[in-house]
Amino acid sequence: MIVLVGLNHKTASLSVREKLFAGCEGKTNLLGELSAIDGVLEILHLSTCNRVELVAAAEDAPQVLAALRSFLVRSGNLTEREAAACLYGYRDEEAIRHLFRVASSLDSLVMGEAQILGQVKEAFRQALAGNFTGIALNRLMHRAFRTAKRVRTETGIAANPVSVSFAAVELAKKIFGTLAGKKVLVIGAGEMAELTLTHLIGNGAEEITVANRTVLQASALAEKYHGNAVGLANLTEALSDADIVISSTGAPEYIVTAEMVRQCLRKRKNRLLFLIDIAVPRDIDPAADDISNVYLYNIDNLQDIVDENIKNRHREALKAEQIVEEEVAQYSKWLKELKVVPTIVSLRNKAESIVRMEMIKAQGWMAKFENGDREKVEALVNGIVNKILHAPVVVMKEESSEFNSQDIVAAVRQLFRLDD
């Protein structure tokens, strides 16, 4: 049986997630402790800024679910109230479905983001390296990776930007077709500016300048992305040289005034200038949009793009959910059949053992057989045995479609005395 226990950004506040993250990460032998829990056959631990989850193959689902929940409560020093509100537990198909949705980014804070799949793969790599996984979790994780790949290639869930900084870069790409060879000026050196730079580099931008009130901060950020740095005192000159300007500071007043834009246009010989303002409050004087050859986009323009793209992702998510259901059904079928495999193997082994014993007893009178007759008898006997075994094997496989197939397995083992 597969079980899953955890919490995420939907069920727990950041402070609770931090407590549990720190509690689990502080353990030097986390997977070793988890694998020692009674009933845990295989174990995996997934931990990100948005979730902490334990996935296990278990003998007794209710018992292991309770034990894993207690482990997380202790590790995060959670109150019972926090645990009741934040922790969830799934078993069998619900657990499988949840994991596949997580790997496919359907359960992410930003649906369609690619980072979560790498984090799931890393969690599996660590568990595999420590020999904490086996046939059930190995197959489960590879099926999860397959599901995520199908969702990414067969749907458009990751096709459109859903963050303002990414939307700004996508807008610049749409305007110019490519960012290669274009000069980009980023105003600001904070988190949003750095995120914008990451997207710019990822989309082919090469000539980047970072402008900031504190030149030291601008230099540190520019160096990180192999760009140049200038202070705000040299902003007009930097504007004159840029093809695209993306501004994101925390300034209370306009950083780029309409007069600065007019001055830089004279130096540019009226070459088109694209300004993208993603700051709140705004960095660029709205009056700049009234100047010829200047195109100004603000955060509201970008938010409209983001909102539409979120709607598109949710539409694509319906297709993704169908893929998840297909993959859940495939893995569940395999897992259920896996439970009867040992009994089927034992049944065949016993039958083959009886055949061998009887053939040995018959060696005396079979010695008179002509060439090829012995093989014909052996083939006949094996054929009869296979026909006799066919019905119980088929019934066991059919019954394995239900998770409670222990009764039929027990009956077969008793009927054929497989445990003697």
Q: What pLDDT is stored for residue 402 in this prediction?
A: 59
Residue 401: what pLDDT?
58
Q: Is the pLDDT of residue 261 over 80?
A: yes
Of 129, 159, 189, which marks where a domain is finished? 159
Give me the catalytic one of 24, 49, 86, 264.
49
Q: What DSSP string describes 15-27? A: HHHHHHHHHHHT-
DSSP 87-119: -EEEETHHHHHHHHHHHTTTTSSSTT-SHHHHH
Instruction: Kindly report, residue by residue over 296-342, the tens digit of the pLDDT.
Output: 998 888 877 778 888 888 899 999 999 999 999 999 888 877 777 67
pLDDT for 115: 82
How many residues appear in the chain?
420
Is there a single domain that holds both residue 15 and residue 134?
Answer: yes
- Any domain includes 207: yes
**Is 86 in the active site?**
no
Give the whole-angstrom CA distance, residue 219 versus residue 83: 46
* Residues 175 and 120 placed together within one structural domain of the fold: no
Section 115-136 average pLDDT = 94
Range of the domain at 267: 164-305
Token look-up 């077969």 returns: 412
Torsion, CA 107, CA 111, CA 116, CA 118, rounded to 10: 140
* Alpha carbon distance 331, 137 (integer Å): 11
Q: How confident is the model at residue 254 (pLDDT cuts 50, 70, 90)?
A: very high
Residues of 174-183 as b/e, b for ≥16 C-beta within 10 angstroms?
Answer: ebeeebeebb
Query: 254 and 131 in one domain?
Result: no
Residue 286 banded pLDDT, cuts 50, 70, 90: very high
Check residue 358 and give its pLDDT.
Answer: 83
- Share above pLDDT 90 across residues of the chain, in percent, rounded to a whole number: 51
Instruction: Give the pLDDT confidence of 11-37 residue by residue, as tens digits.
Output: 999 889 988 988 888 787 999 999 999
Q: Which of 124, 121, 56 is nearest to 90 (CA)?
A: 56
Ranges of beta strands (E only) in 219-319 are 228-231, 244-247, 273-277, 294-297
Which CATH number covers residue 222? 3.40.50.720
Domain boundary among 159, 181, 199: 159
Residue 400: pLDDT above 80?
A: no
Cα 130 from Cα 134, distance rounded (Å): 11
230 within 8 A of 185, measured Cβ to Cβ = no
Return the pLDDT at 317.
Answer: 92
Exposed / middle / buried, residue 12 (Cβ in 10 Å: 0-12, 13-18, 19+)? buried
Are 12 and 103 in contact by the 8 Å Cβ rule? The answer is no
Yes or no: say if 405 and 339 are a contact pair by the CB < 8 Å rule.
Answer: yes
Same domain, 7 and 44: yes
Mean pLDDT of 69-96: 95
Please report the pLDDT score of residue 159 as a whole number.
Answer: 78
This prediction has a pTM of 0.65
